[in-house]
Structures are given as C-alpha cells and as structure tokens.
Amino acid sequence: MRHHHIDAAGIRLHVVEQGSGPAILFCHGFPAIWSSWRSQMQAVADAGWRAIALDMRGYGESDAPEEAEAYMAVHCVGDLVAVLDALGIATAVVAGHDFGANVAWNAAMLRPDRFTAVFAISVPFIQPGGPTFLDELRAAGMDDFYMFAQIRPEADAAWVDAATTIPGNYYWTSGQAPAALRWDPFDPARGLLRPAPEPLSAIDPVYIAEAVARFAETGFHGGLNYYRAIDPFYALAGRAYAGAVIRQPSFFLTGGRDGLNAVRQPSEAALRPALPGLRGFLTIEQAGHWPQLEAAAQVNAVLTGFLAGLASQPAGHNQEERP
C-alpha cells in the first residue's frame, strides 16, 4: 500500500492507494478510519482497479478543522476532487459507508463529471428539498433520536475513552449483538456508548485495535462535527439542489440488522426515483451497520461484480433510459 499526504485547499489529507487501473475512491464514516476498507481495497486491486482510501477530514492522520460547518458534505466533496487532482485522476467510482456514503452520493450529485458511479453502504441517498429528516423528527417530538446527542458539545467528552467506546460502538451496532439489546437509534437505553459485554467476534480485532489507537490520539471532535454539519448543509442543499437526481450507475447495500433502518427503511422502490441509474439493491441479513467488515467476502463479491458491470457498460450511461 502507498501512503500520501495531500493538500486540499489547506486541509492535509492522509490517502492510501493499492493496485493500478481505473480508480475507485473509498470514504469511511463514523467512527472509522481508512483501514475499514482494507478488505475491499485488496479485492478491487486484485480485480484490476486502483483502490484509494482516505482518512476523511476530522479523522486519523488527516487534519481536523474545529468549526462544524467545515464538515458539510460540499467541503468533503471538494476533498475528494482534490485527491483526484493530486493523483492525476480524471474520473473515479466513489464508494462510501455511513457518513462516507452521504459524501459519496453528494459527490456524484455535485460532480458527475468526476464521479462516474456510486457504491454506497448503510446510508441511502437523501434527495435535497423539503424539511430535513432531523427537522421531521424534531417536529414529531422525537428528541431521544441519537443524532441529537451526537450534536451536543458534551458528546466529545462522552466518546473520549476510545478503548471503551470504539469496541462498544462496533459491538452494539453489529449483527453480533442480541436483537433485544442491539442499538436502537430512538432508545437512549440501547445507545452507542455502552461497553461491549463480550469480545467482538464479528469484526477483525486488528482493525478495532487500529481504530482505538487512532481515536485515542485524535479524539472525536472532528468525527462528531459531521453530525453538527447536517442541518447547515441540508439548509443549503434544499435551496440549491432541490429535486436533484443521480443518473450515474449506482448500487446500495445495507445490513438487515442495521439500527439505522429504523430511521428510514430503505427499499429499491423508494430509492429508484432519485437514482434512475440504480443497478442493484442488496440486504445482507446477518450484518449490522458494518457490512464491509462483518461480511467482507460477500461485500467484496458484490462490489467487484458491480465494477465489472461498469466495464461492460460505460459508467455514466444510464441503462434505465431508452430513446
């Protein structure tokens, strides 16, 4: 693997590459680091692709701006464009998980000239326009929704003990956790910050140790700022990009035991109007919020199959459209 540090308009980004060929850029979510994609990077490199993963701004070896507005998706999309420019890459497929999926969707929406296809895990495309889902929850009086706690300033301190919070978060959001106790985004008693009651077997312990070490160094302020940037970004996007669709080829994958599904249950029928280029939708029933870690072999097979399909039909052409 090849490691770089790239300047993106004053933000120093840590970027890791493997393989050669057409490019695919991997974006992680919270609380994760670039190596959450290690298995997928190896798989796509073996399939003839140039795999590129980065520590998203606010994480790992990348810079972490203090202000929340710096984490709006539009700035993160700018980071991805800067990575492509620095590496001399004209276009790339973009893959993302969790907040990284949100960045990936927005990259495809805002820069279809640079991002030719999307592979997203856990977070579906949220079409701009109308009230945001956070506003809808506020209006419904659902003040216990977990994101409202993540937005508060005291969340930084609540997460700070990475040796406890990282294994606990991954355990309770994984498919390994008992169904009756698994993370529920609407129930603080089944929240993210509970210590893991048993060893986490669903996810590679080497990766968990890497994540613990990184967050022990950096803290969680940068990662939590992605939650704090939701309202300002969607206020902007709702005015500027209302009704936008993503026409490039896309694929959405989720875990059947992912607590996020309680927020907005994804389905192919619900996604397709805003994703006319949607080529596939898959639920991995035994996985929780981390399919790329919990069911790596299955995700790798689906991802490489999606990429192979792009080679047979040029990315950017919408197979759903007919003259």
- For the chain, the structural domain boundaries read 2-312
- At 49, the pLDDT band (50, 70, 90 cuts) reads very high
CA 219 to each of CA 36, 69, 99, 161: distance values in angstroms, whole numbers, following the listed order: 18, 18, 18, 9
Instruction: Quote the DSSP letter at residue 54.
Output: E
As annotated, the active-site residues are 98, 227, 289
pLDDT of residue 189: 97
- Does the pLDDT value for residue 318 go beyond 50? no
Q: What is the mean pLDDT of residues 58-84?
A: 97
Q: What is the pTM of this model?
A: 0.94
CATH topology of domain 2-312: Rossmann fold (3.40.50)
Per residue in 92-115, pLDDT (tens digit) is 999 999 999 999 999 999 999 999
pLDDT range class, residue 323, cuts 50, 70, 90: very low
pLDDT of 265 reads: 84
Q: What is the pLDDT of residue 70?
A: 97
> What is the distance between the alpha carbons of residues 9 and 291, in angstroms, rounded to a whole number?
33
Q: What is the pLDDT of residue 1?
A: 92
Instruction: Please provide the average confidence, as pLDDT, over all residues in the chain.
Output: 94
Please name every residue paired with 282 in a beta bridge, in sequence order, or none if there are none: 253
Compute the average pLDDT of residues 122-132.
90
Pairing of strands 11-18, 23-27: unpaired
pLDDT (tens digit per residue) in 153-205: 999 999 999 999 999 999 999 999 999 999 999 999 999 999 999 999 989 99
pLDDT for 201-252, tens place per residue?
Answer: 989 999 999 999 999 999 999 999 999 999 999 888 888 888 999 999 999 9
Other CB atoms within a 10 A radius of the CB of residue 7 amount to 11
Q: Beta partners for 55?
A: 14
Encode burial over 208-241: b for 16+ CB neighbours within 10 A, e otherwise.
bebbbebbeebbbbbbbbbbbbbbebbeebbeeb
- Confidence check: pLDDT of 298 > 50: yes
